[in-house]
A and B are shown apart, each in its own frame.
Chain A
Amino acid sequence: MADDLMHAPVPGHVPADRVFAFNIYGDPRLTEDVQASYQSLHRDAPEIFYSPLNGGHWMITRYEHIFDIVKDYEHFSVREMQIPRIENPPVFIPLSLDPPTNLPYRQALMPHFSPKAVSAMEPKLRAFAADFIDEVLARGECDFVHDIAARFPVSVFMELMGMPLDRLRDFRALADDYFKARTNEEIGALGERIIGLMTELVELRQKEPADDLISKMIEFQVDGRPIALGELQSMLFVMFLGGMDTVTNVASYTYRHLAQDDALQARLAADASLIPRFVEEGIRSFGVINTPRLVVKDCERFGVQFREGDMVLCVLPLGSRDDRRFENSAEFDIDRQALTHLTFSSGPHLCLGHNLARMEIRILTEEWIKRIPRFSLKPGLRHHSRVGTVIAIESLPIQWPV
């Protein structure tokens, strides 16, 4: 088993007191309360440490350090985001491009994810959320992950892209399979099919433009030339990956908490104006992304030597649970002082969809609490999560009185 973890020799520039073995793909310290159990690192591990597992990489767990590293693209590049490193890493536009190369793409997309653009989608999103909840309402039970949290963002994505309704079912099934897939072959094959489907849509909109994001993306200019098909495919795929699993999982972990907190359910039911604070605290408490960087220039930061070729993993959920920044950081407290957290990262790659993600979870909660003000976890079940650079809960069976 030790071989599977690629136990790498510790490089000479890493002092012995910074070495701490942690397996991001399944460390025994991680429990079903993934984010809370991750917090043991703040207590037990060196402040910044080097794990020799999975090819060897640094782990950054404090708010201040992550905040600095994700902004410092001259030393910490996004061009490789795989741990362990692989040959020919894929290029994701604009995610795996450093400034200034990422800028034209990001600037072209930003207006479509601005507060203004996102609010215009609110009525449609509300109707989607209401439909999904109404479908399960009379049953008195559902798997929140599968029946609600995974389906909602898929519809939002299709709405944003202008995907025709007759494609809805196909696409939803494909997205479902993609996020359930476990082997590299499966993931690769389903990824190809998703790109294929989006390419059909691009071709359709080239012939018949409509008032949707794909039609506008076709018109994007990059450095004074029209955007190429390959670039469009890469951007669409990143939006697909970034917009679904993330919202699904943040919402699911947040509802896992809410299901166990009767007092909070009662407060939200009595006063819907508290919902935005609830959403923000859910996002702070349940980050689901660990973002890797590749050191491209030697440097010393926070008393640590980083060498070109080192991989660095910023554990965003821990940045959002850093007790140096957030008092009683492990507590879910919707009344806490609003402070910027790191669940959406920061810097030039700050999550493009942060406004949309907040709105999705807010609308979902407004519609949910109206219909299902009291609910609980189905007893005696465990909630397994997949861990790694993305943290994902597999199911969340809940029940309510009908």
Chain B
Amino acid sequence: MVWIEFVTPSGDVRRVEASEGESLMQAAVRHQVEGIEAACGGSMSCGTCHAWISEPWSAALPQPEEGERSILDFGVHIRPQSRLTCQIQVSAALDGARIEVPPSQS
């Protein structure tokens, strides 16, 4: 089991259990983490599962692919640590990772 900490737009810290192999988005949705809308369910067609991955975990992740980058380019509240959580696979390396959910997805 991998533990992930989501900081929600209301400022709550939600510590949730994620399984290796699922995406960060799936873990967030399963635990109904506020602000991770994931309207397209992981088809990379919306950008509503955007979150900021804190360091050092952000730097350790593989770089986003072109499709993800182009969605982030046109998003709101974008920072260098911005990622689409549907594109990040949960692994042991993410244990304890802190993920901040932006105040809105649009």
Contact = CB atoms under 8 A, between A and B. Distances in A.
Interface of A: 67, 70-71, 99, 106-107, 110-111, 114-119, 337-340, 344, 346-350, 354-355, 358
Contacts of A339: 32
16 contacts: A70-B41, A99-B43, A107-B70, A110-B45, A111-B73, A115-B75, A117-B74, A118-B106, A338-B34, A340-B37, A340-B38, A346-B41, A347-B41, A347-B43, A350-B46, A354-B39
Contacts of A116: 74-76
Nearest to B47: A114
A327 B43 CA distance: 27
B16 interface: no
Contacts of A118: 106
A347 B45 contact: yes
Interface string B44-82: 011100000000000000000001001101111000000
Given A114-B47, A339-B32, A355-B106, A347 B73 contact: no
B71 A71 contact: no
Contacts, number: 62
Contacts of A355: 106
B32 A71 contact: no
Contacts of A107: 67, 70
A257 B40 CA distance: 28
Given A107-B67, A107-B70, A339-B32, A348 B37 contact: no
B105 interface: yes
A115 B73 CA distance: 11
A330 to B, nearest CB: 21
Given A116-B75, A119-B76, A340-B29, 16 more contacts: A67-B41, A106-B45, A107-B70, A110-B45, A110-B71, A110-B74, A111-B74, A117-B74, A118-B106, A346-B39, A347-B40, A347-B41, A350-B39, A350-B43, A350-B45, A350-B46
A347 B106 CA distance: 18
A184 B30 CA distance: 45
A70 B42 CA distance: 12
Interface residues of B, number: 22
What is the interface of chain B mostly: helix, strand, loop, or mixed?
Answer: loop
What is the interface of chain A mostly: helix, strand, loop, or mixed?
Answer: helix
Interface of B: 29, 32, 34, 37-43, 45-47, 67, 70-71, 73-76, 105-106
Nearest to B29: A340
A119 to B, nearest CB: 8
Contacts of A111: 70, 73-74
B28 to A, nearest CB: 11
Given A106-B45, A107-B70, A347-B43, A115 B76 contact: yes
B38 to A, nearest CB: 6
Given A107-B70, A111-B70, A340-B38, A348 B43 contact: yes
Nearest to B36: A340
Contacts of B73: 111
Nearest to A113: B74
Contacts of B46: 350, 354
A348 B45 contact: yes
Nearest to A354: B39
A301 to B, nearest CB: 15
A277 B75 CA distance: 21
A160 to B, nearest CB: 15
B39 A344 contact: yes
B72 to A, nearest CB: 10
Given A115-B106, A116-B76, A340-B38, A71 B70 contact: no
B7 to A, nearest CB: 17
Contacts of B71: 110, 114
B66 to A, nearest CB: 9
Interface centre among B34, B38, B41 (most CB of A within 10 A): B41
